[in-house]
Amino acid sequence: MLPVTEVDLTTVKYDPGEIEAPYISGFWLKLFVKLVEMPLLGSLIIDQLKKQNKMNEMLRETVIPEPPMFRPEFPPQEPEPGVVFLKEDGKSEDRVDSATRCLPQYDPYSNHSSDSSPFRYWKIRDYAYSYRQRLTTPSSVAEHVISAIEEFSHKKPPTPLLISFDPEDVRKQAAASTRRFEEGKPLSILDGIFVAIKDDIDCYPHPSNGGTTWLHEVRNVKEDAVSVSRLRSCGAILVGKANMHELGMGTTGVNPNYGTARNPHDLERYTGGSSSGPAAIVASGICSAALGTDGGGSVRIPSSLCGIVGLKTTYGRTDIRGSLCDGGTVEIVGPITSSVEDIILVYAAILGSSPSDKISLHPSVPCLPDLSSHENSSILGSLRLGKYTEWFNDVFSPDISNKCEDALNMFSETHGCKILEIVIPELNEMRTAHVVSIGSEAATSMSPDLQDGKGGRLTLDSRINFPLFNSFSASDYVAAQRLRRRIMYYHMEIFKNVDVIVTPTTGMTAPVIPKGALKYGESDMKVTGNLMRFIIAANLLGFPAISVPVGYDKQGLPIGLQIIGRPWAEATILRLAAAFEGLRVETKQPASYFDILKRN
């Protein structure tokens, strides 16, 4: 392998690099798990799978000249134009207030309408207006939220959005919020806003099981995660712990332990994962926002498949203490909402690096795009969007690339920005480096419990993963980190010529849920490869990225566009996402939708 500085990009050929692995479900999945967990036979099976996917060739038979990068390292970045700076160490409520002033002026006469056409979700400012005008109260809304959540939980087969839910706790929070409005003292624009928390993020007094049935036995929740605490200080009403793919180890959201959350646009299809419950509860209109985690697209994939907005922040921009993934090098805690302006408000509340990340990562001062400024249009016109066409078009259905291409063309025609062709080398090496990194870190964090025999209580598709993860050696992990530095170099060189990289969020729309998967789960690496095709760079390299809906395929399923930014450049990708959202002409009400605010 040549040193990265000597690679001639003009000779790079796109390689789709399909994942080689059989589809398995039902009885055959149970049998396969037994085989791979056998000491000798299991090793032979895993070695063969790794050989088919050229993993050993990359990690053990290739000299990688770059030194390892054990977590993202970012060079100093140029300041973003047209932004409002936020006080990272200040109060969450003050940041949210600053964020509110960054938004376009709110017009209650055009926005506060349930009969608008085309369909649009109620936004946080719609709820805030209704509360302040005494059109309704948080307590009244809470009853409709509780009713909708319970309706989902009683479906056959079970399709729970939440796996830890206490209606009385929700009523108590809503009553406190109602009193604050009666006294004229709401804490922020997020006061009385209903938010779901993914089951791998601590939200006291709920347990954090990570979608398992047993993790609460070995891990007690004594307080909120940092991000949850910041939302609570703004008056948000935390409805409970949202369903997820067990331990975040899948992209579909299937969960045989509690039942699988269904896609509100088509209940026979997956939401995407692993933040399945957070995406479904927002897309169905029940909650305005949710928190998820994203270590391999787990916020962006379900947001795209469910037709909503998901933000993956720069690694270290949000404090992930109090989440199950707080020791990893690829994960973040990020918001899921139905609109970009709501993403901005929730992001403002939860942002703020941990003390250790401030020392090691040197984050730039957080800021937001001033969307109310007259300069916004000219700033949009000055941006350069990078597109790797061969990669962009490598999708399961051409509907996806066509819709995303249409959105880019409309954006360029409207704002006059440039779309530049780029080349990204070594995409397969990037995928391998990511799976070794996230897999090794997951295996390390779970090792005490797996050694204690609790691995047998995991779902079958989770159990398949750990023999693979445990097969990675220390030298494999170091080789993956050498690849991380190499691939970081390529991307930072690209970012010298473009401001963002644009791709479809996923390579396919929401897949159908096989009936056999509901009881036992499944292993479908073809689907995983399609869903994660464009996802990995933001995780392995720590870049900010956002998924914003841009249309539907011929079956009426949502399609998302992904915008990947430079390190710490959340303001730029938020500005672009808001602009793409503003140009969108086609919106559809999900088949399973609850008009929570209209019910009042």
Which tens digit of pLDDT belongs to each residue from 293-312?
Answer: 999 999 999 999 999 999 99
The residue among 45, 17, 19, 20 whose CA lies nearest residue 31 is 45
Q: Residue 161 has what DSSP assignment? A: S
Task: Report, as residue numbers or ranges, the catalytic residues.
Answer: 198, 274, 298
Per-residue HEC secondary structure of 520-568 comes to HCEECHHHHHHHHCCCHHHHHCCCCEEEEEEEECCCCCEEEEEEEECCC
| pLDDT mean over 475-495 | 98
Share of the chain above pLDDT 70, in %: 98
Q: Of the candidates 149, 140, 253, 157, which has an alpha carbon nearest to the alpha carbon of residue 195? A: 149
Residue 183 burial (CB count, 10 A) = 8
SS (H, E, C) 47-107: HHHHHHCCHHHHHHCCCCCCCCCCCCCCCCCCCCCCEEECCCCCCHHHHHHHHHHHCCCCC
pLDDT digits (tens, 9 = 90+) for 443-461: 999 999 988 999 999 999 9
Residue written as tokens 């690496």?
A: 525
Give the N- to C-terminal CA distance of the chain in Å, as an integer: 64
pLDDT tens, position by position, 343-382: 999 999 999 999 999 999 999 999 999 999 999 999 999 9
* pLDDT given for residue 113 in this prediction: 45
Mean pLDDT lowest among 56-60, 157-161, 178-182, 394-398: 157-161
> pLDDT tens across 72-107, in order?
999 999 999 999 999 999 999 999 999 999 999 998
Q: Does residue 287 contact residue 174 with C-beta atoms inside 8 Å?
A: no
pLDDT at 549 over 80: yes
| Interatomic CA distance for residues 35 and 522, integer angstroms | 16
pLDDT tens-place string over residues 361-371: 999 999 999 99
Mean pLDDT of 466-493: 98
The confidence score (pLDDT) of residue 152 equals: 82
Phi, psi of 361 (to 5 degrees): -100, -15
What the block records as the tokens of 524 is 């479908």
Closest CA to 253 of 446, 535, 521: 521
**Residue type for position 104:** P
User: Could you report the per-residue pLDDT of 254-280, keeping only the tens digit for each?
Assistant: 999 999 999 999 999 999 999 999 999
The confidence score (pLDDT) of residue 376 equals: 96
DSSP single-letter state for residue 246: G
- Report the pLDDT value the prediction gives residue 178, as an integer from 0 to 100: 98
In 338-482, DSSP assigns E strands to: 367-369, 384-387, 418-421
Give the mean pLDDT of 316-339: 97
* Interstrand relation of 384-387 and 500-504 (parallel, antiparallel or unpaired): parallel
